[in-house]
Chains A and B, each alone.
Chain A
Amino acid sequence: MSEQANGTMPIRKTVTVPVTPQRAFELFTARIGEWWPLATHSVGEDHATGVVFGEGIGGSIVESLADGTTSVWGTITGWDPPYGVAYTWHAGTPVTEATSVEVTFTPGEPGHTVVELVHSGWDNRPDGSAARANYETGWNPVIQHYARFAVTSGQTTLMRVTTAKGLRP
């Protein structure tokens, strides 16, 4: 079965916004807290209080939670305002299991910007471990994403079960 059939090809999303690339870039990054759907798209869901997008390569995308803790979603790997930004995406997962997101801002009609988001690396790991033989590629990042974003405190539960070896409920 090909990778595409396996669902590991990049996800591509395009949206046109009625603002200049400068403004579109700023809104996507520095002002992410104004629009990101935290209630459904976060580690903490109801307990998420905000998200901040760092500035420049090496900066982080960080969610803050009601209990004072934070969760790093990714690290900026490319920073070229107002043309594009790239970052790793590893919300709730080990950094080694990060996928990659690249967002480009292209001038469209006057006063408009075409924003394209490409989420790739479903079968790729920055540490090269994707080459491991017999590895069902693409599974783990997606499942981890789901675990973090769709299940409240999913990771905590997972860890508890993992450390409870030998118990047979």
Chain B
Amino acid sequence: MVLEALGDSTRRLIVDVLRRSGPSSVAELAARLPVSRPAVSQHLTVLRRSRLVTYEEAGTRNVYRLDPTGMRDLRAWMDGFWQEALDSYAEAAQKDAALGRSDRVAIRKGLPDE
């Protein structure tokens, strides 16, 4: 899951380095990050499963780069973010409208001529 993959700060750093520096090998990433090479490999596996990164074999090493598929998933997440916010807004508006009607009814009932 993309969101879980990015829930780790080191993995966010890896994504950030790939974004800034372009395709990189494990060794290149490890050199830029405060973690060991095996740790980088493990994080890359998680990122790859979430389709945030992909790799190509280049001789004896794998070169990693960002995978736009994960980006689309993230955008879908943001889409859900606004949907939930607007649902909550619509609910409040409905309550507000209902309250407004009952207020008017109460006022009307209170009027002697009504």
Q: Do A and B come from one complex?
A: yes
Q: If A158-B12, A161-B10, A168-B35 touch, does A122 touch B84 (CB 8 Å cutoff)?
A: no
CB-based closest 7 A-B pairs: A17-B93, A35-B92, A7-B75, A7-B72, A157-B9, A18-B97, A15-B86
Q: Which residues of A contact B82 (CB under 8 A)?
A: 11, 13, 117, 119
Report the nearest B residue to A34, measured CB to CB.
B92
Using a Cβ–Cβ cut-off of 8 Å, how many residues does chain A contribute to the interface with B? 54
A54 adjacent to chain B (CB < 8 Å)? no
**Is chain A's binding surface mostly helix, strand, loop or mixed?**
mixed
Q: Which residues of A contact B36 (CB under 8 A)?
A: 168-169
Report the nearest B residue to A162, measured CB to CB.
B13
A134–B22 alpha-carbon span in the complex (Å) = 8
* Contact of A19 (CB < 8 Å), options: B77, B83, B96: B96
Q: Which residues of B contact A150 (CB under 8 A)?
A: 3, 6-7, 77
Report the nearest B residue to A28, measured CB to CB.
B89
**A85–chain B nearest beta-carbon distance, Å:** 13
**B75 lies within 8 A of A27 (CB):** no
**B84 lies within 8 A of A18 (CB):** no
**B83 lies within 8 A of A13 (CB):** yes
* Contact of B34 (CB < 8 Å), options: A5, A19, A23, A161: A161
Query: 12 A-B residue contacts at CB 8 Å?
Result: A115-B86, A119-B78, A136-B66, A139-B19, A147-B12, A150-B7, A151-B6, A154-B12, A158-B9, A158-B13, A166-B34, A169-B34
B46 adjacent to chain A (CB < 8 Å)? no
* Contact of B74 (CB < 8 Å), options: A143, A160, A162: A143
Q: Which residues of A contact B22 (CB under 8 A)?
A: 134
- Please tell me which stretch of A36-44, A55-63, A64-72, A74-82 contacts chain B, meaning at least 4 of its Cβ atoms lie within 8 angstroms of it: A36-44
Report the nearest B residue to A18, measured CB to CB.
B97
**B34 lies within 8 A of A7 (CB):** no
A167–B19 alpha-carbon span in the complex (Å) = 23
**B77 lies within 8 A of A15 (CB):** no
Report the nearest B residue to A153, measured CB to CB.
B9
User: B91-104, CB under 8 A of A: which get 1 and which 0?
Assistant: 11110110010000
Q: Which residues of A contact B88 (CB under 8 A)?
A: 35-37
